[in-house]
Amino acid sequence: MLVSSVSGVAESLFATLFPSDCRLCGVPLVSISRLPVCRPCLSDVRATTGGVCSVCGERVFSPFAISAGETRCGLCRRLAPPFVRAVAYGSYDGGLRELIHLLKYEQVRPAAVVLGRMLAEAVSGLGSVWTQHPVMVVPVPLHARKLRQRGFNQSELIAHHATKLGEGSGKLVLRARVLERRRETQSQIGLTRHQRRENLRGSFAVVRPEEIGGREILLVDDVFTTGTTVSECARVLRRAGASKVFVATVARTLKTGAQGLDLAQSLAEDERTLAATG
């Protein structure tokens, strides 16, 4: 009876640590892995290529977007963001979205290793624009309550694994405690651009400005949705003395042709934002 009981506990523990089915497609896994995702599903997660803004990474459809050899979306042509450039590995949908959700909402931490590799691939495209080394890597922080609830900051975990891949080069150094989130904010869903900025205003603060003075910063987050969060963090870092801020995320919400914002409406909203914020 004791042997049977121990065997049952062992089987239960093994099933928990090494699930038998892929969490993305449900197909039985044929090899033991700490990440419950099959190789075909991982292979289906592809990097975004071509047709994106060279500044913010948004998908560009207009044939008039190319200027001075660079492709820029209407918003970046009109208003320069507070960061130099934002890069992302892939589109926030399909398998990549599910991988991020496994980490964030189901605490499958091994997913951070795969996502870190993807982030490192996206970051590799920034090497030619950095003017100093090492570049300081700063993850977008969680509020203390959310951190306690989740148990970890997914952006920090992903950044940790991404920077480990470049340890030998010394080009990236992770600093996870120079930026903090001082207040919680309401959901950004359904808010205008101006409302999103107001919602985040004063949420972030640099707690060790002496570490970032004159430094180039790589700001890391899991997903770039509207860009409001990383833009607010970039502004705070620049005000604290950072010389330049770059942004890298694993995924980015990309517009489809049917969902693309009308340029006139976008520019009109930005004009109202400028008028309101001075």
Residue 262: band (very low, low, confident or very high) from pLDDT cuts 50, 70, 90: very low
Q: Are 108 and 145 in contact (CB under 8 A)?
A: no
Q: Are 191 and 219 in contact (CB under 8 A)?
A: no
Please identify which residue in the block is written with the tokens 């985040």: 200
Average pLDDT, the chain: 82
The residues, any chain, with a CB within 8 Å of residue 128's CB and separated by 6 or more, are none
DSSP code of residue 52: B
Residue 149 in this model has a pLDDT that exceeds 80: yes
Q: Is 256 exposed, middle or buried (0-12, 13-18, 19+ CB in 10 A)?
A: exposed
Tokens of 208: 């060790």
Q: Quick one: pLDDT at residue 217? A: 96
Q: Quick one: pLDDT at residue 13? A: 53
Residue 278 in this model has a pLDDT that exceeds 90: no
- Answer yes or no: is 13 within a domain: no
Angle between helices 193-200 and 228-239 (to 10 degrees): 50
**Domain containing 72: what range?**
23-277
- Answer yes or no: is 30 within a domain: yes
Residue 169: band (very low, low, confident or very high) from pLDDT cuts 50, 70, 90: low
- Answer yes or no: is 12 within a domain: no
Mean pLDDT of 186-209: 74
- Answer yes or no: is 10 within a domain: no
Residue 77 in this model has a pLDDT that exceeds 90: no
Residue 259 in this model has a pLDDT that exceeds 60: no
From CA 178, how far away is CA 139, in angstroms rounded? 9
Residue 154: band (very low, low, confident or very high) from pLDDT cuts 50, 70, 90: very high
What is the helix, strand, coil percentage profile of the chain, to 5?
40, 15, 45
Residue 181: band (very low, low, confident or very high) from pLDDT cuts 50, 70, 90: very high
- State the CATH number of the domain containing residue 131: 3.40.50.2020
Q: What is the pTM of this model?
A: 0.82
Residue 131: band (very low, low, confident or very high) from pLDDT cuts 50, 70, 90: confident
- Answer yes or no: is 9 within a domain: no
236 versus 32: the higher-pLDDT residue is: 236
183 versus 182: the higher-pLDDT residue is: 182
- Answer yes or no: is 202 within a domain: yes
Q: Is the peptide bond before 134 cis (omega within 30 degrees of 0)?
A: yes
Q: What is the DSSP string of 165-228?
A: TTTTTT-EEE-TTSEEE-S-----TT--HHHHHHHHTTSEEES-GGGTTT-EEEEEEEEESSSH
From CA 245, how far away is CA 221, in angstroms rounded? 13
Domain total in the chain: 1
- Answer yes or no: is 143 within a domain: yes
231 versus 188: the higher-pLDDT residue is: 231
DSSP code of residue 249: E
Q: Quick one: pLDDT at residue 27? A: 92
Q: What is the DSSP string of 83-119?
A: SSEEEEEEESSHHHHHHHHHHHHH--TTHHHHHHHHH
- Answer yes or no: is 134 within a domain: yes
From CA 57, how far away is CA 83, in angstroms rounded? 12
Among residues 187, 178, 197, the alpha carbon closest in space to that of 245 is found at 178
